[in-house]
Amino acid sequence: MLQVKMLAEKVRLVAVPADKFKTGCISVSMALPMDEKMAANSLLIYLLKRSCKRYPDFSLLAGKLDELYGAVLGASVAKNGESQTLTLSITSLADKFALTDESIASESAQLLADLLFEPNCENGMFNAEALAMEKRLLIQRIEEEMDDKRTYAFKKCVSFMCKDEPYGKSKYGTVEEIEAVTEKDVYEAWQNMLSTAVIQITVVGSADVNRICEAFECRFRSVERNPVQIETVFVQDGGELQRYEEKFNVNQGKLVIGFRAGMDHRRDNLFAITVMNDIFGMGTYSKLFTNVREKLSLAYYCWSRLVPGKGIVLVESGIDTDKEKAVTDEVMFQLSELINGKTDPEVLESSKRALKEKYTFTSPEGIQNWYASQVTCDDILTPEDMINGFEGVTMEQVCTAASKLSLDTVFMLSAEEGNDEN
Amino acid sequence: MKIEVITNEKLGEKVYVYKHSSGLEVRVLPKEGYDSAYAVFGTKYGSIDTSVKNADGEFETIPEGTAHFLEHKLFESEDLNAFERFAATGASANAYTSFEKTAYLFKGSENIESSLEILLDFVQNPYFTARTVEKEQGIIGQEIRMYQDSPDWQVMFNLLRALYEKHPVRIDIAGTQESIARIDADLLYRLYETFYNPANMVLCVVGAVKPQRVFDIVEKNIKNSSGNPAERNFEKESGAPVQNYVEEALPVAHRQFMLGFKEELETPLLTLEEEIASQIMLDAVAGKASPLFKKLLDEELIDMSFGSELFNGFGFSCVMLGGSSADPKKTAKIIADEFERVNKEGINPEAFERSKRKLYGRYVMMYNDIDDTANLLMNLYFNGYAPFAELEACKGITHEKAQNRASKILSSNAALSVIKPIS
C-alpha cells in the first residue's frame, strides 16, 4: 500500500512496496522554476549521473552498475507544468536474485544518495573536463531534436503557442546559456537544488523503504531547506489563431494543432477532460482514429495528447503536405461532432474501460512515473482515484469539456516542393 | 490433455506448456499479484519471408511487405473489426511485424477470457476485399513515408543493403509504395493459408490467468488443421559485404553512423548460447564501462547514444555498432582496430565477468513486465527453445565461448553506413 512520509520541508517520500516485481526502483525528482538557471540545472543532473566522490570517473561508475547486475541509472530533465523537473533514478535487481550473498538494493540506494550528495567536486567547483564534455553532449542533444520530425514538430508547436509563457522555453535552457555555464555555476546550481527544489523520492518494488528513508533523511539533515513555490500560468482561451510553417526536405509532413483546454489548474475538471481527449483522439474507437485514419486513409497516425500540467491539447498527424487543409478540416469537424453529442454512448463506455486499463500499471516503471509526475502536487492521486473519477464522467460533461477546447496555434512541418511525390 | 510444467526455482516462475492437436504450442506463465494479463499470438512469418513454397514444391517470389500488409488487414472483418470488439472488453490490442514474425497481442485486466477468445478468433478469420485492400494502401503508404524520414531506420537499412546481397533482411519491413501496390485480396488469402496455420504459430499468455482456463479456451477456439510449419529457404551468403561504405543525406543535425560486421553462416541459425556469448562479448568490448567507449567519448567521436548489438535470424547474423559521430570513418577504424586487438590479446577477464553478471541481471529483469515475458517466450519457441533456456545458457557462457564469438568479427567483412546532414 501507498506510504507517504515527509523527510524534510517539501521533501516527500512516496513508496509503493511490492515484492511481486523482480526489481526495486528509486527515483528522486526535483522541481525548480523555469528561470535563467535552467541551463546550469540541466548540466548539473547529467554531471551527477556521471560520477561521484566514490566513483570519480565515468567508466568506474559504469563498471559498478554492471557489477550490480546491470543496475540502470537514469537522469532526465522534463517540463512538469512550468517547472523544470530534474530526476535521478536507479533500478536494480531484487536481492533474492543475486548469485552471491550481497544486498543489491541497499548498495543501489547508497549509490543514488552518493551521486546526489557527494558529487565529484573540489574547491566549490565541478571538474572542468567533465563539464566540457557534458556541455558538448547536451548541446548535441538539443541540436539533434530536429532529427525526429514528429517530436520536433510537437515541440515547435508548443514553443510557438506558449511563446509568452515560461512553458514555451526549451526544457534544457538555450545553447547560448549552456555554453556560458561555468564550473562554479553548476556547483551553485547543485547547492540551490538541494536547498530550494520541491523534492519527491519515489520508491517502487522490493526495496526496503525504511532503509531508504533513513539513508535520505540523514543526508537532508545537513541541508538548509528554503523550498520555492512553483506556479504555472494557465491560459484558458486560444485567442486569434496563429499558423507557423517550416520546410524540410522530407517525405512526410507533420501537422500539429494546438488547443487550450480551458483549465485553470492541473486538476481542473481533469476527469472529464481526460475522457474527452481519449474519445477525441486517443483510442482506436476515437474520432480521429476512426475517421482520419480508418475512413479517409489520410494518415498512419492522428492522435490528440492532453498535457494537464499546462492545460493544453495537441493533435498530431503525419500527412502529405498538400493534405493539410483536408486533415485540419476533418479534425475540426470531428471536434464539432464531439461538442454536439454525436458520439455513440458505447464509445464513452469503451473509453472508460480503456482508461481504466491505462491506469492499471503492470510495471514498476509505470507506477513510479505516475507518482513521480506529482512531485509538485500537494495531495497525491492514486491510479484508483483516477479510475473512480473517470467512472463518474457523463456524456454531457464530455461535450462541455470539448466545447472548452479553443484553437490556438497550428504548426506545419512541410515537405519542400518537388519532394512530395503525390 | 498433456500439460508440461517447466519451473525455474531461482526466478520463482513456472511456465505451463500445452501442445494442441493442430500443432499450436501454448505457453502460459501465471503471475501472482498481477491484475493484468498480456497475450501474444504469433506466426513465424516476417518480412524475410519473400518467397513461399507453392504446390509444386518450388519457392515462388511474393511482393515485399506482404507480411506487414496482412498484419494490418487481419484486424478487419465483415462486421465489427477487431478493434471494435476489443473496445467492449477494454483490452488494448495491437500487432507488429518484424523480420521473422508477425504478432497479435492484447493487454487487459478485465474480461481477459473474452479478450483471448477475440484474439484467437480474429487471427483465424481473415476477411479481405478489393476495397479494404485499397484503403490500407493509403495508410501503409504513410507509414512507409514516416520511416523514410527516420534517420535511425535509414542508417540501419542502408547498412543491411550494404552487407547483404541477396538475403531479404535487406528489404524494408513494410515494403515499398510500388511493392504494396501489387498486393491484392487473392494473394493475401493464399499467403494466409500458408503461414497462418496453427502448426506455424504460438500463443503465449502471461499474468493474471489460470493456465487450465487458457488451455480450455484454446481447445474450444482453435480450428484443427493438417498444416505444417512453413519452410524457409536457406541460401548461403559469403561474409563479404556488397559495399564497404554507403551514405545518405537527410535533414539531420549531425552525422550518424552504423558499422556492421557480417558473419558467414554455415547453418541458418546461431545457437542461443552463441547469441548470448556475443552479447556478453560486445558489452565487455564496447559497453559503457569499456576502454573503447571511454576513448571514443574522450576524443569527442561519439555521444551517449553509442551502442552495439548482435543482429541475427534465419540466414543472417551481424554485429552492429552505431550512434552519432563527428567523424564516422575515424570512429569505425578505432572500433575495428579494437576488435583486432581483442582477437589477438583476448577479452579482459574482469570485463567479461562484469558483463556476464549484467546480462544475467537484465534477463531476470525481463520477467518484471508481462509484455516482455510473453514476447520472450514466443521468441524462444520460434527458435526452438524451452522457457528459461536463456537464463541457463547465460550461466554457462565461458570466457572461451565469448572469445570465440569475437573471432567472427572481421574487418574484411565490415560495412559502414552514414547519414549526413544536407549541406
Put simply, the answer to whether A249 touches B83 (Cβ < 8 Å) is no
Q: Quote the CA–CA distance of A172 and A148 in Å, as a whole number.
A: 17
- The string of pLDDT tens digits covering residues A330-379 is 999 999 999 999 999 999 999 999 999 999 999 999 999 999 999 999 99
B71 is catalytic: yes
Is A421 domain-assigned? no
Alpha helical stretches, state H, A242-289? 270-281, 287-288
10 Å Cβ neighbour count for B384?
10
Q: Quote the CA–CA distance of B362 and B357 in Å, as a whole number.
A: 9
10 Å Cβ neighbour count for A114?
18
Task: Tell me: do A263 and A165 sit in the same domain.
Answer: no
Put simply, the answer to whether A66 touches B38 (Cβ < 8 Å) is no
Q: Is A252 on the interface with B (CB under 8 A)?
A: yes
Put simply, the answer to whether B87 touches A350 (Cβ < 8 Å) is yes
Q: Quote the CA–CA distance of B179 and B63 in Å, as a whole number.
A: 5
Contact (Cβ atoms closer than 8 angstroms) between residue B202 and residue B20: no
Q: Does pLDDT of A101 surpass 90?
A: no
Matching residue, cell 513486465 = B369
Disruptive mutation site among B145, B205, B305 for chain A (greatest number of A CBs within 10 Å) = B145
State the pLDDT at residue A19: 87
Contact map slice: A 201-230 vs B, CB within 8 A? none
* Distance to chain A for B156, nearest Cα, Å: 15
Q: Does pLDDT of A420 surpass 60?
A: no
Contact (Cβ atoms closer than 8 angstroms) between residue B369 and residue A363: yes
Contact (Cβ atoms closer than 8 angstroms) between residue B387 and residue B6: yes
**pLDDT classification of A189: cutoffs 50, 70, 90:** very high
Grid cell at residue A362 = 503492470
Give me the mean pLDDT over the A203-211 stretch.
87
Task: Tell me: do A60 and A177 sit in the same domain.
Answer: yes
Contacts with B297 from chain A: Cβ below 8 Å: 58, 133
Contacts with B177 from chain A: Cβ below 8 Å: 421
Give me the mean pLDDT over the B326-350 stretch.
98
Choose among B388, B359, B391: nearest CA to A71. B359
Is A226 domain-assigned? no
What three-state secondary structure class fits A368? helix
Contact (Cβ atoms closer than 8 angstroms) between residue B283 and residue B357: no
Q: Is A391 on the interface with B (CB under 8 A)?
A: no
Is A266 domain-assigned? yes
Check if the interface score ipTM surpasses 0.90: yes
Contact (Cβ atoms closer than 8 angstroms) between residue A238 and residue A406: yes
Give me the mean pLDDT over the B57-72 stretch.
93
CA A216 from centre of chain: 24
State the pLDDT at residue A102: 83
Give me the mean pLDDT over the B322-346 stretch.
98
State the pLDDT at residue A418: 63
Strands A253-260 and A72-79: unpaired
pTM: 0.94
For residue B171, what is the DSSP state? Answer: S
Average pLDDT value over all residues in chain B: 95
Q: Which residue range(s) make up the domain with A247? A: 242-415
By CA distance, what is B92's nearest residue in A? A354
Residue that finishes a domain, picked among A157, A186, A221: A221
Cβ-nearest to A66 among B10, B35, B289: B289
Task: Tell me: do A217 and A246 sit in the same domain.
Answer: no
E strand residue ranges, B109-255: 201-207, 245-250
Contacts with B136 from chain A: Cβ below 8 Å: 297
Q: Quote the CA–CA distance of A352 and B8 in Å, as a whole number.
A: 38
Task: Tell me: do A176 and A307 sit in the same domain.
Answer: no
Is A97 domain-assigned? yes
Task: Tell me: do A147 and A181 sit in the same domain.
Answer: yes
Q: Is A293 on the interface with B (CB under 8 A)?
A: yes
Task: Tell me: do A217 and A256 sit in the same domain.
Answer: no
Contact map slice: A 76-115 vs B, CB within 8 A? 91-93, 96-97, 99
Grid cell at residue B107 = 493487454
Task: Tell me: do A266 and A188 sit in the same domain.
Answer: no
Task: Tell me: do A288 and A351 sit in the same domain.
Answer: yes
Strands B201-207 and B25-30: parallel
Is A237 domain-assigned? no
- The string of pLDDT tens digits covering residues A13-54 is 999 988 899 999 999 999 999 999 999 999 999 999 999 999
Put simply, the answer to whether B364 touches A297 (Cβ < 8 Å) is no
User: What is the identity of the amino acid at A266?
Assistant: R
Percent of chain B with pLDDT over 70: 100
Q: Give the residue, B114 or A420, on which the prediction is more confident.
A: B114
Interface size between A and B, measured as CB pairs under 8 A: 186
By CA distance, what is B372's nearest residue in A? A363
By CA distance, what is A99's nearest residue in B? B357
Strands A83-93 and A253-260: unpaired
Put simply, the answer to whether B31 touches A350 (Cβ < 8 Å) is no
Strands B245-250 and B414-421: parallel
- The string of pLDDT tens digits covering residues B69-117 is 999 999 988 888 999 999 999 999 999 999 999 999 999 999 999 999 9
Percent of chain B with pLDDT over 90: 91
Q: What is the CATH number of the domain that holds A73?
A: 3.30.830.10
Grid cell at residue A34 = 523555469
Contacts with A357 from chain B: Cβ below 8 Å: 36, 90-92, 107-110
State the pLDDT at residue A42: 98
Contacts with B149 from chain A: Cβ below 8 Å: 149, 250-252
Task: Tell me: do A217 and A257 sit in the same domain.
Answer: no
Q: Does pLDDT of A421 surpass 60?
A: no
Choose among A91, A32, A87, A1: nearest CA to A380. A1
Task: Tell me: do A115 and A259 sit in the same domain.
Answer: no
Disruptive mutation site among B142, B254, B324 for chain A (greatest number of A CBs within 10 Å) = B142
State the pLDDT at residue B225: 80
Give me the mean pLDDT over the B120-141 stretch.
93
- HSE-CB of A6 using CA atoms within 13 angstroms: 7
**Of residues B25, B71, B100, B136, which has the active-site annotation?**
B71
Disruptive mutation site among A66, A294, A324 for chain B (greatest number of B CBs within 10 Å) = A66
Q: How many domains does chain A have?
A: 2
Cβ-nearest to B303 among A62, A137, A362: A137
Q: Is A360 on the interface with B (CB under 8 A)?
A: yes
Q: Is A74 on the interface with B (CB under 8 A)?
A: no
- The string of pLDDT tens digits covering residues A64-91 is 999 999 999 999 999 999 999 999 999 9
- The string of pLDDT tens digits covering residues B286-299 is 999 999 999 999 99
Put simply, the answer to whether B109 touches A360 (Cβ < 8 Å) is yes
- The string of pLDDT tens digits covering residues A117-153 is 999 999 999 999 999 999 999 999 999 999 999 999 9
Put simply, the answer to whether B251 touches A63 (Cβ < 8 Å) is no
Distances (CA, A) of A359 to A393, B99, B363, B404: 16, 32, 26, 47
Contact (Cβ atoms closer than 8 angstroms) between residue A269 and residue A236: no
Q: Is A167 on the interface with B (CB under 8 A)?
A: no
Is A311 domain-assigned? yes
10 Å Cβ neighbour count for B402?
26
Task: Tell me: do A313 and A405 sit in the same domain.
Answer: yes
- Residue B142: phi and psi, rounded to 5, are -70, -35
Q: Does pLDDT of A422 surpass 60?
A: no
Task: Tell me: do A14 and A117 sit in the same domain.
Answer: yes
Q: Does pLDDT of A288 surpass 50?
A: yes
State the pLDDT at residue A206: 81
Put simply, the answer to whether A144 touches B254 (Cβ < 8 Å) is yes
Q: Does pLDDT of A302 surpass 70?
A: yes
* Distance to chain B for A87, nearest Cα, Å: 18
Put simply, the answer to whether A141 touches B303 (Cβ < 8 Å) is yes
Is A339 domain-assigned? yes
Alpha helical stretches, state H, A118-253? 128-143, 149-161, 175-180, 183-196, 209-221
Domains annotated for chain B, with CATH where assigned, are 3-221 (3.30.830.10), 245-421 (3.30.830.10)
Choose among B304, B353, B354, B296: nearest CA to A73. B304
Grid cell at residue B385 = 527453445
Cβ-nearest to B142 among A68, A283, A299: A299
Is A90 domain-assigned? yes
Q: Is A244 on the interface with B (CB under 8 A)?
A: no
